[in-house]
Structure 1
Amino acid sequence: MAKIQSKPFGVTKAGENVTEYILSNPGGLSVSVLDYGCIIKNIIVPAKSGPLDVVLGHDTMADYEADTGTYCGAFVGRYANRIEGAAFTLGGKKYELEANNGPNHLHGCFSRKIYTVKSFGDTLLMEAESPDGEDGFPGNMKIAVRYTLTDDNAFRMDYRVSSDADTLVNLTNHSYFNLDGGGNVLGQKLRIYASRYLEGNEQTCPTGRILPVEGTPMDFRAGKPIGRDLKPGFTQTEIVGGGYDHCYVIDRARGASQSICAWATSEKTGVSMKVYTTQPGVQLYTGNFLQDCAVPGKGGAQYEKYSGFALETQHYPCSPSHPEFPSTVLRAGKVFRATTTLRFFTGKQCGRL
C-alpha cells in the first residue's frame, strides 16, 4: 500500500504555514501535494532512465503565490474555465463575478485556499469552505478533495462539494504535463477520445457550436504528435495563441462510471499516461502562453511556450450562456461529485498509442 509523509513547504504572505504531503507506492511512483490550493507539485514516475518528474511547478511557496496566471497543478473552482462576461443569472437574479481574464471570469479562488488535511492509509482528504458571496457566487459551499495513490500506479482525484443555496460549480485540476521531463511537448503523442469539440471565439469562450473533429487539426482520435497539425491557416488554433485551448466532448462508454478521455506518451522516456473521468469534457491546453510566466519553474528554469500540456477534465466552459450544454447548476442541499484518474505506465506496459 502507498504511504504518506509530510514536511513543511513554506509560509504564505499572510503568515499561513504550508505543508507538502508525499504519497508513494512500492513501485516507485510518488505524488507530492500541497495543502495550499490542493496543488500537485510533483509526480515522479520510475522511467527507464530513472525517476522522472512529469509535471510543471515551482520550488518555493513564494513562487506559487507570485504565479497568478498559470494555476500550475492547482485544484480550481468555483468555476473551472470561463464564465462569459463575468456574470450569470440564476433564479432570476444576476450575479457579478471577478473579471480576471479580460471581460470574463476564469477559474476562481479555490487554488489560493489553505485546506485542512486528514490522511487515511493511501488517501489524503483535503477540506475547506467557500463563504456565500466569495468570487461573487451565492451559497456557503463545503469542499472536499480526496487524492488516492494505488499500488498499480493510478492517482485518483475525487471532488465533492455541497451548497446551502442554488449556485454554479465546475471543478478541475490544472496540472501541466511533460512526459519527456523537459523541453517542449510538441513531439509527445496524444490521443483524445472525442469526436466533437466546442468551437471557440477570440476570448477562448465557446460560440455554442459543437463541431466534428474529423478532417481538422482538432482530431486526436487516432493519436498523433501534439504539434503535428499546428500549421498557420486554421483559425481555431491561431486565435488561442498558436496551439490548443479547447474543450472536447468525451465519447463516453455506455454504463461506465469513468470513461477514458485521453492517452499521452513519450517515446523518449517510455512514460505513458491514461486519463479517465466522470466529467463530460476535457480541455486541452498546450501552454501557449507559458512564456509569459515571470516566475521561475523548478530548478530555476524559465518555462517556454509549449513547455507543458494540460488535460482539464470538466463541464463545458461558459455553460450559463448556453442552456443547451450540460447544466452546472448545483441545487441547495444537493451534492456535486466528480472523479478523474491518472494511470501511469512505463516501457511496454501501456502498449503502443
Structure 2
Amino acid sequence: MATEPLSTGPTTRRTVLAGAAAVGLTAAMAGGAQAASAASGATGGGRHPVRELFGRLPDGTEVHRWTLENGGTRLRVLSYGGIVQSLEIPDRRGRYANVSLGFDNLDDYLKATTFFGALIGRYGNRIAGGRFTLDGRTYQLPLNDGQNTLHGGTLGYDKRVWDVEPFSGSSGVGLVLSYLSPDAEMGYPGTLTVKVTYTLTPRGSWRIDYHATTDRATVVNLTNHTYYNLAGEGSGDVYGHELTLDASRYTPVDPTLIPTGELARVAATPFDFRSGKTVGRDIRAGHPQLLRG
C-alpha cells in the first residue's frame, strides 16, 4: 500500500491522498477463491453487503458488522475503526480459513493495543517527539508510544466509528467508509475528510482505496493494520511462510523505532528477501535492528 505524507497549499482544498492497494491473497491461497466461485456458479456482482449489530460502545453508540461476499472470498468489517474482523479464503479444495487476525467481540477490540485490522490515521507509524513543523508552525501531538506519537495519537482513526455505505455491481461489492476529522483533532491542523473504499472483486481479490481532502495544509499517512496468517488463524506462527521482497535497501531505526534517515543495503543482512526465503529463517540472527522490534 503506497501511502505517504502529503499536504495542500495553505488555502487550497484538494485531494491530498488517493491510493489503491489490491490485496492478492487469492493467488497466495493457490487460486482457491476463484475455484470456489466457479464451483458455486458465482458471477460478477456478488452478494449485497449485509449489516448486523456487533456491539455498543460504553456511551451506547452502536457498532455494526458488515459481511461482504464475492468471488469466493468473505470479508467482515466493523464500523468501529473500519476494522477487518475476518477475511475468509478457500484453499484449492474449497476449505475456508480466516487469514486475518482479530477478536470475536467488541470488548476485546476496545481493550487491545495491537490495532488488529484497523484503519490508521491521521498519520500511520511514529512521529518523533509527537512534533512536526509545517509552513513555519510547530504542532504538538499527544504522546502514546513513549516519547513519540504512534498511529495518529491516543484517539486515532482506529478508535472512531465510521459512516458506512454499502455498494454492489459488476465491478464488485464493497463498503465506502467515511470519517470527518475536525481541525486540531489530536493536534493535527486542518479539517480532513476521509473516505476509504473496501472492494471485493468478482475474482475474489480485496482492494483498498484511500481518498482524503483538507481545507488547510496538513500531514496525512493512511493505512490498514491487518495482520495475516495465510494458513488461517490458530494454525501457529508464520515463520514457515515464504516471502519475496524486491527491495535492495531498508530504513534503520533508532532505539525508539524512529527512522534514522539512512537507506541501508539489505545485502548480507536478515532483511534480504530479494530471492525469497521463509520469514523465520533469519529472524533470530541477532541483528541490532531485529532486537529493536
Q: 1:218: how far off?
A: 0.4
Secondary structure at 2:63 match in 1: strand
Counterpart of 2:198 in structure 1: which amino acid? Y
Match of 2:83 in 1: 39
- Give a deviation string over 1:213-269, Cα, whole Å, max 9, x none: 1221001111111010123431111121xxxxxxxxxxxxxxxxxxxxxxxxxxxxx
Match of 2:276 in 1: 223
Match of 2:162 in 1: 115
- Give a deviation string over 1:38-96, Cα, whole Å, max 9, x none: 111100001237110001101111111111x1000000010000101110111111100
Worse-matched range after superposition: 227-236 or 79-88: 227-236
Moved over 6 A (4+): none
Gaps of 5+ in 1: 241-353
2:223 to 152, 161, 172: 172
1:51 to 96, 104, 122: 96
Match of 2:63 in 1: 18
1:78 to 113, 122, 127: 122
Contact (CA 8 Å) 1:115, 1:128: kept in 2 or not? Answer: yes
Contact (CA 8 Å) 1:99, 1:105: kept in 2 or not? Answer: yes
TM-score (normalised: structure 2): 0.79
Would you say how many aligned residue pairs link Structure 1 and Structure 2? Answer: 238
Counterparts of residues 54-203 of structure 1 (less than 5 Å):
54-67=99-112, 69-108=113-152, 109-121=156-168, 122-181=173-232, 182-203=235-256
Counterparts of residues 337-352 of structure 1 (less than 5 Å):
none
Contact (CA 8 Å) 2:127, 2:148: kept in 1 or not? Answer: yes
Worse-matched range after superposition: 69-78 or 182-191: 182-191
Counterpart of 1:159 in structure 2: which amino acid? Y
Q: Aligned in 2, Cα 1:194/1:232: closer, same or farther, shift over 3 Å?
A: closer
Distance of 2:77 and 2:284 partners within structure 1: 37
- Give a deviation string over 1:124-159, Cα, whole Å, max 9, x none: 111110111111100011010111001112111111
Secondary structure at 1:38 match in 2: coil
Contact (CA 8 Å) 1:232, 1:238: kept in 2 or not? Answer: no
Counterpart of 1:44 in structure 2: which amino acid? E
- Give a deviation string over 1:168-218, Cα, whole Å, max 9, x none: 000110000011212111111111222111111111110110111122100
Distance of 1:189 and 1:13 partners within structure 2: 42
- Give a deviation string over 1:287-341, Cα, whole Å, max 9, x none: xxxxxxxxxxxxxxxxxxxxxxxxxxxxxxxxxxxxxxxxxxxxxxxxxxxxxxx
Q: 1:14: how far off?
A: 1.8
Q: In the alignment, is residue 211 of structure 1 matched against residue 264 of structure 2?
A: yes
Distance of 2:54 and 2:120 partners within structure 1: 20
1:8 to 36, 48, 53: 53
Bigger-Rg structure (1/2): 2
Gaps of 5+ in 2: 1-44
Secondary structure at 1:63 match in 2: helix
Secondary structure at 2:110 match in 1: helix
Counterpart of 1:207 in structure 2: which amino acid? T
Q: Relative contact order (C-alpha < 8 Å, sep 6+): which is higher?
A: 2
TM-score (normalised: structure 1): 0.66
Distance of 1:32 and 1:105 partners within structure 2: 29
Secondary structure at 2:257 match in 1: coil
Counterpart of 1:20 in structure 2: which amino acid? R
